[in-house]
A and B are shown apart, each in its own frame.
Chain A
């Protein structure tokens, strides 16, 4: 596709490669054709009909996202005819929409609302006296996500995202014509439909039709409950993306302001999930060494991604023995909060309200798993996504950009560089290697393992450790997981340790992270930009290997004893169970 094609758009002459669409050609000269269903590489079905333009000599209006440029083409993107047609289509969509913009999860990131503003659309079709109102279908029994047809514009981006990015295809169009809705087959409850809660659908949705279960009110209530002491932990990836909600460029580290904002909200006890990331490495590292030295099940799979754990329990339950028994950093932190930390604060566990801020929607249901608590209480009482944190900050009127950065001090808040990279694909593996190699070799070993960094779906490397060749792999995203298991079942190669994440790119691209519009997803490599933040933090941290963290040494000395101790197992390890979906009795 090396030839250039000359065409005119709105009177402007330009030359673009022959494989460009009219939309892309227009974008290249700053003419932004309105669009709703187009999501590059994921959903290119030309079905919303919002990007229509007039092409001289052709009947009707054509979708610019699907029309390739042709030599001599004359395109008009903004005639009265085009404007009226696009407005009409938007007005038709508005007629089915239940507008609750003030409390909608997409209050400041709704692509539909932006279009309605741009075209000053009326809302005549919402008049129930004149026009039939569409039945609303809500799927809200799951702990993590809600499907709400009253906000759906039937663009189909979620359907394609689930199919292509998670390889599962949980969502699809059902019914027909004006009764069409999107959801799992038979609109089955999401938690029984084989969904892993990776949230790629949320990230693809242009409106609030698919959203995290909004639990901001629970935090507001807890803050006003004088009988509770609130302890908040924050995941590594949140600080790498939260700033986007307040106008910062993608790839800005706002760690200090993030903690300051929590304090402004009235939270006094703040710890860092990064600390328990380090703890996870110690526990998991020892578990791995134990398996290698004592003939345990190999390869061992990491277990900190609940989306991945869901995937395995639903689709590959025969590999449960391969999963590390370690809880995720969130759950380890929750366990320590309710036991070790509660004691330090001189409080009973029931008096502690443990909150986590996560880039993930699957964490909401992870917190409710059996075994994630004891004596009738849960280790993590509330999980909020990065987006919910941003909303509560905004709603309270806290001027995020003007806050002075702070760092929480305390035992459970210090971390090493190894912990900070947990949010990147390959980060957990690299952190584990930094510790495991040093323990086995008995001397200082390299810090950086570049072979397993990056965005390739399946990354592989072999490291010689204490005379043994250790085969590792790093997999991220449901589609890649599917490919990896195909590989695993047919290969002779013995893998030893595999890091698997439910979200492509790792947690920095989690389902709870700030939404990036379709246009910006094309413009910016979001995953790479956010990942860079974490590797920068790593680079600039004093200690870069988990076992070097003084606070880690302390928690073992003071409380846990040693890795894999009885207490460690009781608090920091868990079990898994095969799950069935569409199990209709």
Chain B
């Protein structure tokens, strides 16, 4: 169950200065006295580092920080703020709160551990009203950049921030901008890659639907820095709400003169147009995206030349992901140093994750780089539902790999995930439990890449298809041990010799699951058994002891393979059973299992 509120008292038990223990106890007793419920937790936390003004109390949600809190203040805080939601103004901390100094390792809520930078305005402003964006300091960064900063200074600020591409590549954004700036041409372009094709990823969609102006402002800043006057947003047609809101946002920005000619009277011109994708995952690859805008078939092109040198229509072009752009205005508002201080040494800032799969709190969350997987999955994500065990978390979508339980304490950042055999990708994170078959998972991702491969280069076009042929046979019970070797060899060859990122990363889910769950593969090919009970040819359906004899399964079985009298344990005839899974789905008491350990029961 999610806690309703967290009250964090600084100092920890060791601190002599803060009487944090007494403060905590007083909070608890007041809360109990007013009967406010046991979903309000008071916790001792680490040192805030603001000792001169302490002790501090931080209340979530809302990140309300009180300083100089005395024991006598607590009843007022509890009655006014905790019970009635009204912060106590006189106790509010009046200075700048440096997040980095706050080392909090104890239990945290969904909101506490999050740091919404890219999502700062999502769920806060009405995306159809430019004034609300402006109210939250919108377009101030652009104004500052074009009126007081040179192009070099602008790029240096982005470089200093350490911002890395959020679309999957993780390439330093400032460096990318610099390449484009250094190319000499009469025309340059900025492109926002809003093609977001990873299955299960919707981070970019949230930003585009909830805060479109942040992207527009960032693109204009980029245009200024590299010397481009035209920007394109390439957005997948499957996001009609986002397309519409972007369209309105562009028009509103143009009306106010924030896009168009002579922005802020600086002589800088920048206009943005929208281009729709047409249902091809591969068009998320920057050169394929460029080809698509040019009206060509969306197939990647060899690099070099890189888009920064020769891109759209042969001109220098900078392509960045939506989330990368969403971070840019904040870097100029709060400073590159502020941004660099968040996250880890080599991966600064935050990352938005789309949490899905077997997890209690599915949805979007944004955390500083360096947050561990355990924190994301258990603290913020709420853990695995239905009392199941965690098995693996897939990051990076069809380009990524799975992370197992023994790596849950890895701090999330670009390099750590690659070291684990996965990658950050765009931020999709799918959690799997013991009911997921990892061979089937690999097959699912490979089916996707086989479908989406553009067909231009041999290894991806032919190789991934052959890998899929093999996986299909394995899941149907016709695989051999030699197939596993062939799978691995094909995988490494495809990784080594494919033309673009799609092919180079398509084998990752297979390689990753082979590495961490080889026993499952071997069960499929040697024992012809699917341990997770997913692959229908390799599993048996069995009625367990807790059957209540409601007859729902036998009534729904399409082939009449289940026998049993009312209120008596039912029985499945495995010769007639076609493994369709309907019985398991309709059983109201989870009395039908496919797990191999239950097969003897029958």
Contacts and interface: CB of A to CB of B under 8 A. Distances in A.
Contact of B466 (A47, A125, A175): A125
Contacts of B495: 60
Nearest to A86: B497
A178 interface: yes
Given A45-B301, A68-B304, A154 B458 contact: yes
A583 to B, nearest CB: 24
A96 B462 contact: yes
Interface string A33-77: 000000000000111111010000000110100101000000000
Interface in B454-505: 454-459, 461-466, 469-470, 473, 489-490, 493, 495-499, 504
A179 B495 CA distance: 21
A177 B499 contact: no
B457 A48 contact: yes
Contact of B461 (A46, A84, A180): A180
**Residue with the greatest number of chain B CB neighbours at <10 A, chosen from A89, A172, A177:** A177
Contacts of A85: 493, 496-497
Given A49-B458, A130-B473, A176-B455, A66 B504 contact: no
B461 A178 contact: yes
B459 A49 contact: yes
A97 to B, nearest CB: 11
Interface residues of B, number: 34
Contacts of B130: none
**Interface range, A side:** 35 or more
Q: Secondary structure of the B side of the interface? A: helix
A92 B469 contact: no
Contacts of A96: 462
Name which of A47, A81, A156, A172 has the most chain B CB atoms within 10 A of its CB: A47
B423 to A, nearest CB: 14
A61 B496 contact: yes
A475 interface: no
Contacts of A50: 458
B455 A89 contact: no
B69 interface: no
A64 to B, nearest CB: 12
Interface in A95-139: 95-96, 125, 130-132
A315 interface: no
A68 B301 CA distance: 16
How would you classify the secondary structure of chain A's contact residues: helix, strand, loop or mixed?
A: loop
Given A85-B493, A88-B490, A66 B304 contact: yes
Contacts of A175: 455
A156 B456 contact: yes
Interface stretch (B256-264, B434-442, B445-453): B445-453
A49 B452 contact: no
Nearest to B457: A47
B297 interface: yes
A47 B496 CA distance: 14
A172 B297 contact: yes
Contacts of A52: 496-497
Q: Which of A85, A88, A95 has the most CB of B within 10 A?
A: A88
A86 B465 CA distance: 17
A173 interface: yes
A178 B450 CA distance: 7
Interface in A145-191: 153-154, 156, 172-173, 175-180
A382 interface: no
A7 interface: no
B479 to A, nearest CB: 10
Given A45-B302, A173-B299, A60 B455 contact: no
Contact of B498 (A49, A93, A179): A49
Contacts of B490: 88
Contacts of A177: 450-455, 461, 464-465
B300 to A, nearest CB: 9
Nearest to A49: B497
Contacts of A153: 458
B459 A92 contact: yes
B302 A173 contact: no
B312 to A, nearest CB: 18
A255 B458 CA distance: 43
Nearest to B500: A47
A85 B494 CA distance: 8
Given A85-B493, A92-B463, A172-B297, A180 B302 contact: no
A427 to B, nearest CB: 38
B280 interface: yes
A180 B455 contact: yes
Contacts of B489: 84, 88
A75 B462 CA distance: 27
14 contacts: A47-B457, A49-B459, A52-B497, A61-B497, A85-B496, A89-B459, A96-B462, A130-B473, A132-B469, A153-B458, A177-B465, A178-B450, A178-B455, A178-B462
* Nearest 6 pairs of A and B residues by beta carbon: A180-B455, A92-B462, A177-B453, A178-B465, A46-B302, A60-B496
Given A92-B458, A92-B462, A178-B464, 4 more contacts: A52-B497, A68-B304, A93-B462, A154-B455
